[in-house]
Structure 1
Amino acid sequence: MSTETIAKHILYVDDEPQALKYFARLFGDRFEIATAESVDAALEYLREHGDRVSVVVTDQRMPEKSGVQLMEQIRYEFPNIARILLTAYSELELAIQSVNEGGAFRYLKKPLDENEMIGTLLRAQEYHGVLDERDRLLREKISVLHRLIVMDRIRGLATAATALGCRVRNSWQALVAYMQQSPVKQRIAMQMDEIAALNMTAIARREAEMMVRTVELLLRDTVAPASGRNSDLALPAWLGQFVQGRQAAAADEDVTIRLVDPPSETQIASDEGLLTQLLEILLRRLCDLQEQPTEIQIGAQPLADGVQLDLKGCFADLDSGQVASLFAAAIPLQKWPIGLDMDLLSAFMLAHHLGGSLQIIPAAPQGPGFSLKLPATAPTADPEPAAIDPQWFDTVYESLEQWEQEIMEG
Structure 2
Amino acid sequence: MNQTYDYKSFAVLYVDDETQTASNFKEYFSDIFDVEIATSGEEAWQIFSKNPDRFAIVMTDQRMPASSGVELLERVRAARPRALRILATAYSDINAAIAAVNSGAIYKYVNKPWDPPTLEMTLKRGMEFYLVQRERDLLMREKLAALQRLMMTDRLLSLGIFAAGLNQHLRNSLTAVKTFLDLAPLQLQRENLDINNLRDPDYWKNFYSTAQTQMGKIVSLLQDIHNIPESSRVPLTDEFSINEIVQISCDCQKQAFEQKQIALSLNLGENISITGNRLLIQNGLQLLLDDEAANLPQGGKLTITTSPATDETGRAGVKIEINDYGVGLSVKTLNCLFDPFFVKKSEPAQYGLNLLTCFFIVYHHSGSMTMAQNGPDKASFHIFLPSQANLPNAREEQMFLERVFDMEKVWEKMLMES
Taking structure 1 as the reference length, what is the TM-score of the superposition?
0.45
Taking structure 2 as the reference length, what is the TM-score of the superposition?
0.45
Structure number with greater CO (CA < 8 Å, separation at least 6) is 1
